Amino acid sequence: MTQTDRITVVGEAQGGSGPGSGAEASLPEAARVPVAAGKPVRGSNRLAALDGLRFLAALAVVLYHFVGQKPKTMEVFWGQPYTEVFPDAHGYFAYGQFGVDLFFLISGFVICMSAWGRTPRDFFISRVTRLYPMYWVAIAVSACVLFFVSNPFADRDPRIIFANLTMLQRPLGVANLDAVYWTLWPELCFYLTFSVVVWKGLTYQRVVIFAGLWTVAAVLAPAVDLPLLTLLVNPQSAPYFIAGMAFYLMYRFRPTPLLWGVVAMSWLLALHFLLAPHGGRIKWDIWSPSYSSLVIVTTVFFALIAAIALGWSSRIRWRWLTVAGTLTFPLYLLHDIIGITLLHRYADRVDPWVLVGSITAGLVVLSYVVQRFVERPVAVATRRWLKSADFGWKQPARRR
């Protein structure tokens, strides 16, 4: 098979939780980046496996929120202790929270892929139109549920809505309107810092240097107590983005000892932050999984992306996976407040598993409707408007 220097840009990932769409584009001739003694980039194949993994990650997070939440939260949602609702399943579904880590891995891979050969302007437009339209729709829906539907966990402070609309609520010191929004800040910081490399022009060497500098910053920032730098580099999330970028370089060129070294270091740091007794993401006093299970889960995530980077999933081209991938961002953003409100309202009337299954299926359908008839048209219109705008610093002509 003839190799070319053309590549399909697959799914501009989001945050949170890193779900993305299935847009395609080809790199121009000027975007070629040769590597000595390396393979040229693979031919134009959709990475349907990434779409499938993205959807599975979102589904894992959904089921975690419905079945595997911390005990006190479960009791509020269901009106009774989890030991009476899901006595055996709760501990297994608690691992669904790590679907976010898989999101970040995929995001590092896909953002590096989609930014290759793009101008800073194109990169900015692609990120804005990918994130904000669906995010604003989700905020509108969540705000309506919180303000107009009775539930015991609503925070009806309008200031929270205004701050959340900026997506800068974390540095502003304002709570997330929906708990799942926490993943958007690490994504936003990744885009912001990575845009410096995009501005210079992506090359193999520049991406590797960026990955190395980010790794050093993620280690040193908390060690020397630099709050601003820690806020920007997101040490707990950084290893996944960095490994994702390294995996993309393997996919675009070829695996090298250097890239495997970046991946290995990222894997070690990911486990370090994950297993930290204090300051890590796991509340050990509430849920105490075995260290070995966490190592296995993290290793499986890295192995899955490695399989895609090495081309082992190239035969997977099912169309339905691509469709599923487009639903990931809406499903991730919409499921929490809508889902737990329905759980709370019908928990004492419907069998728990039937209720979880029905709500999850309904949310998937809702995600398709929103993506197809709201997110996509708004994103297209926003992209068209931004592309026609003048991004230069030249002063516009005065009105006559």
Token pair 């302007």: residue: 121
Q: Identify residue 213 by its one-letter amino acid code.
A: L
Residue 37 has pLDDT above 60, yes or no: no
- What would the pLDDT profile of 218-270 be if each residue is shown by its tens digit? 999 999 999 999 999 999 999 999 999 999 999 999 999 999 999 999 999 99
* Residue 334 included in any domain: yes
* Residue 8 included in any domain: no
* Residue 176 included in any domain: yes
Using pLDDT thresholds of 50, 70 and 90, give the confidence band for residue 390: confident
Number of folded domains that form the chain: 1
Report the SS3 class of residue 21: coil
Kindly list the distances between the CA atom of residue 117 and the CA atoms of 27, 42, 136, 236, in Å, as whole numbers in the listed order.
6, 15, 29, 29
Report how far residue 238's alpha carbon sits from residue 217's, in angstroms, rounded to the nearest whole number: 10
Q: Residue 228 is encoded by which pair of tokens?
A: 């601003």
* Residue 22 included in any domain: no
- pTM (two decimals): 0.89
* Residue 238 included in any domain: yes
Q: How many CA atoms lie within 13 A of 24 on its CB side?
A: 10
Exposure b/e, 78-100, CB count within 10 A at least 16 = b: beeebeebbeebbeebbbbbbbb
Q: Report DSSP letters for 270-324, one per residue.
A: HHHHHS-SSSSSS-TTT----HHHHHHHHHHHHHHHHHHHTTTTTT---HHHHHH
Q: What are phi and psi of 20, to 5 degrees?
A: -145, 175
Q: Residue 298 is encoded by which pair of tokens?
A: 């993290």
Report how far residue 213's alpha carbon sits from residue 223's, in angstroms, rounded to the nearest whole number: 15
pLDDT above 70 covers a percentage of the chain that reads 86
**Residues 200, 119 contacting (CB under 8 angstroms):** no
* Residue 393 included in any domain: no
> What's the CA angle centered on 372, arms 369 and 328, to 5 degrees?
80
**Residues 347, 79 contacting (CB under 8 angstroms):** yes
* Residue 23 included in any domain: no
- For 380, the domain range is 29-387
* Residue 126 included in any domain: yes
- What would the pLDDT profile of 157-213 be if each residue is shown by its tens digit? 889 999 999 999 999 999 999 999 999 999 999 999 999 999 999 999 999 999 999
